[in-house]
Homo-oligomer: A and B are copies of this chain.
Amino acid sequence: MLMSINATTWLARRLGEYDVLTEEEKCALEQIIEHDHRVSENQDIVVEGSRPSHSILLIEGFCARYNLLPDGKRQITAIHIPGDFVDLHSFCLKRMDHSIAAITRCRVAAIPHRALREMTENHPHLARLLWTSTAVDGAILRQWLFGMGRRSALERMAHQICELFVRLKGVGLVEDESFQMPVTQAQLADILGISTVHVNRIAQELRGQGIITWRGATVVIEDWERLCQIAEFNPTYLNLQNGPR
């Protein structure tokens, strides 16, 4: 397990996915992390309307961005896994137009916006990689939107599982084709934009066909080929390949 990896390492590893880092750059990343704290399940990490002075790096656990309608309907617009720079965009946008909540118990590190700003002044290459991170978030959002508009609930659920699988694999959180997906059916409903009842039935469809097993928080991919086929999954948008930036 990766329990003991520290915040700096996560950040270096994430940015290192986009391009090779020099030793000096890794050093610079060491400096920017201010503190490191725990958040309990279901607690908000960043709330709508606030003006954060720090951005949050997720070290352990899962969290979600979401929007609420006055009538209580909720839409989750992103799920974040360890290593994700959860609200990097708050550096650019100043005022939050949505909230971010911990889905499980989380450990997070805070990076002051001041440090990010200095990074754009003194380490343009690192700044480009941070910018890239924002762009990748956008690419994922486009895929979700694409699916929400034009894919069926079954296809979307399959796609979601494909994406999570690949992303978790990228940070070493997959073992033997299985991974942790610590979300309730109600939360998954808010991710997929459907009702909890429908999530239940769709999940049974995928399980019944022997494509996945899902008990508790543990998902096992039984038939990756078939899952990708249902989802029409193409991982290009995750930008996992490394290159000069």
**Distance between Cα atoms of A69 and B67 in the complex (Å):** 27
A35 at the interface (CB under 8 A from B): no
Counting every copy of the chain, the complex holds 2
Using A131-B131, A149-B193 as known contacts, list a sample of 8 further A-B pairs with CB atoms less than 8 Å apart, ordered by residue number in A: A65-B142, A67-B143, A67-B150, A93-B135, A97-B237, A117-B128, A124-B127, A131-B134
Assembly CA distance A196 to B70 (angstroms): 29
The interface residues of chain A, by DSSP majority, are classed as helix
Q: Which of A1-9, A73-81, A167-175 forms part of the interface with chain B? A: A73-81
Cβ contact of A149, chosen from B75, B124, B130, cutoff 8 A: B75
Contact partners of A92 in chain B: CB under 8 A: 128, 131-132, 134-136, 245
Give the chain B neighbours of A148 by CB distance below 8 A.
Answer: 145, 148-149, 193
* A-B contact list, 30 entries, CB within 8 Å: A67-B143, A67-B150, A69-B150, A69-B232, A70-B232, A77-B145, A77-B146, A89-B138, A92-B128, A92-B131, A92-B132, A92-B245, A93-B132, A93-B136, A93-B139, A94-B243, A95-B236, A95-B239, A97-B143, A97-B236, A98-B142, A120-B128, A121-B124, A124-B127, A127-B127, A127-B131, A130-B131, A134-B138, A141-B141, A148-B149
